[in-house]
């Protein structure tokens, strides 16, 4: 028969009071090292594990952080998850990962679940709900790459700089008729700034820019292929394209199928600079976002909010870098 061990058993085994055991477990008040060791030894011998939920309610802190992303199967979001989890762990927090999959209902359910579990804070990188929904959240919040209100800090790459670098590189390569793939313009995403800056500079240099706007949270290979086919079938004289790494790699594959030589006839530049993009041949020319630095900054800011500190600079932008490849 299974016998459940409780705090009284630990007290009896260690020869101290139940109150002393409770103080040891909650790290409250002065306890000598000798007494603390006796209690921990008794807990180990009895294989006793404290009720973490009860402890958290007592401390009013769970050391849990929620992370909501659109789709972690995408390399960029997978890397964000890796760095955020790693840095949270180093700071004594555990991660609750929520994969929104471009579903408003799913994201709402996750937000409600995170609040029911009394997470200490939430990092939001998804894009499905209206801003008003995020403002209802009664927890410290950090936004990744999206404006969620004047009071919610945002951490992102410097997309203005990214748009400039892409434009300068395609101009230098001699492009005259280019396509850019953009996400939904309805989102208040800072990522859109790179496309706005890019288009402005190209037009100032008398270079034609065709903008293909995609639906919100378009990530799958089949969805991407639809837009890629549309580009190649409808625009015959293009000589350059600007897209995210995943999209750019798929575009190169389709160009090769159609007998289009890269970079001689067609230039391709990506955006993100994820680790997986380094494995592609030909090596992709891309703009590398400082994903690790962005994630560490987001965690640092969230911990400050959790600790009641004020964040004066609500917007934090990190420099991007041009990675030379073989596709321009």
Give me the pLDDT at residue 51, please.
Answer: 60
What residue segments make up the domains of the chain, in order of their start?
Answer: 7-59, 64-157+292-318, 159-289
Q: What is the mean pLDDT of the chain?
A: 89
User: Which residues are 208's β-sheet partners?
Assistant: 177
Q: Do 64-157+292-318 and 159-289 agree at the fold level? A: yes
Selection from 296, 301, 305 nearest residue 86 by Cα: 296
* Residue linked to tokens 């993100």: 272
Q: Give me 116's structure tokens.
A: 């029911």
The one-character DSSP state at 289 is P
pLDDT for 273 beyond 50: yes
State how far the Cα of 175 lies from the Cα of 57, in Å rounded to an integer. 61
Mean per-residue pLDDT, 121-141: 82
Selection from 22, 31, 107, 98 nearest residue 65 by Cα: 98
Give me the pLDDT at residue 4, please.
Answer: 65
Mean per-residue pLDDT, 33-41: 86
- List Cβ<8 Å contacts ≥24 apart for 11-20: 13/42, 13/45, 13/46, 14/38, 14/39, 14/41, 14/42
Mean per-residue pLDDT, 277-301: 96
Give the model's confidence band at 2: pLDDT under 50 very low, under 70 low, under 90 confident, else very high: very low
To the question of pTM greater than 0.85 for the whole model, the response is no
State how far the Cα of 6 lies from the Cα of 17, in Å rounded to an integer. 13
State how far the Cα of 326 lies from the Cα of 255, in Å rounded to an integer. 15
Mean per-residue pLDDT, 309-328: 94
Mean per-residue pLDDT, 270-289: 94
* Cβ atoms of residues 7 and 55 within 8 Å: no
The CATH-assigned architecture of domain 159-289 is 3-Layer(aba) Sandwich (3.40)
Give me the pLDDT at residue 201, please.
Answer: 98
Q: What are phi and psi of 298, to 5 degrees?
A: -60, -45
The CATH-assigned architecture of domain 64-157+292-318 is 3-Layer(aba) Sandwich (3.40)
State how far the Cα of 210 lies from the Cα of 214, in Å rounded to an integer. 13
The CATH-assigned architecture of domain 7-59 is Orthogonal Bundle (1.10)
Q: Give me 210's structure tokens.
A: 């065709």
Task: Map residue 208 onto helix, strand or coil.
Answer: strand
First and final CA of the chain: distance in angstroms? 71
């Amino acid at each position: 028969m299974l016998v459940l061990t409780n705090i009284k058993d630990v007290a009896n085994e260690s020869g101290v009071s139940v109150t002393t055991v409770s103080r040891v477990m909650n790290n409250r008040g002065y306890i000598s090292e000798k007494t603390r060791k006796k209690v921990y030894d008794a807990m180990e011998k009895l294989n006793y594990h404290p009720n973490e939920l009860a402890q958290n309610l007592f401390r009013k802190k769970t050391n849990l952080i929620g992370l909501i992303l659109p789709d972690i199967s995408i390399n960029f979001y997978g890397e964000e998850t890796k760095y955020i989890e790693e840095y949270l762990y180093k700071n004594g927090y555990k991660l609750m990962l929520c994969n929104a999959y471009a579903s408003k209902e799913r994201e709402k359910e996750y937000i409600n679940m995170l609040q029911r579990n009394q997470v200490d804070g939430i990092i939001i990188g998804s894009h499905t709900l209206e801003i008003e929904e995020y403002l209802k959240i009664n927890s410290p919040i950090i936004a990744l790459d999206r404006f969620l209100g004047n009071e919610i800090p945002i951490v992102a790459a410097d997309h203005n700089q990214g748009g400039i670098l892409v434009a300068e590189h395609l101009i230098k390569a001699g492009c005259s008729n280019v396509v850019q793939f953009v996400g939904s313009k309805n989102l208040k995403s800072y990522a859109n700034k790179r496309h706005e800056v890019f288009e402005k500079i190209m037009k100032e240099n008398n270079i034609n820019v065709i903008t293909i706007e995609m639906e919100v949270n378009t990530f799958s290979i089949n969805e991407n292929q639809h837009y890629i086919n549309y580009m190649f079938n409808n625009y015959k004289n293009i000589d350059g394209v600007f897209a995210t790494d995943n999209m750019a790699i798929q575009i190169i594959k389709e160009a090769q199928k159609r007998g289009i030589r890269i970079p001689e006839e067609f230039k391709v530049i990506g955006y993100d600079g994820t680790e997986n993009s380094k494995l592609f041949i030909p090596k992709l020319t891309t703009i590398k976002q400082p994903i690790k630095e962005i994630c560490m900054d987001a965690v640092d800011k969230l911990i400050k909010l959790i600790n009641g500190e004020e964040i004066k600079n609500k917007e934090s932008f990190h420099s991007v870098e041009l990675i030379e490849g073989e596709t321009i």
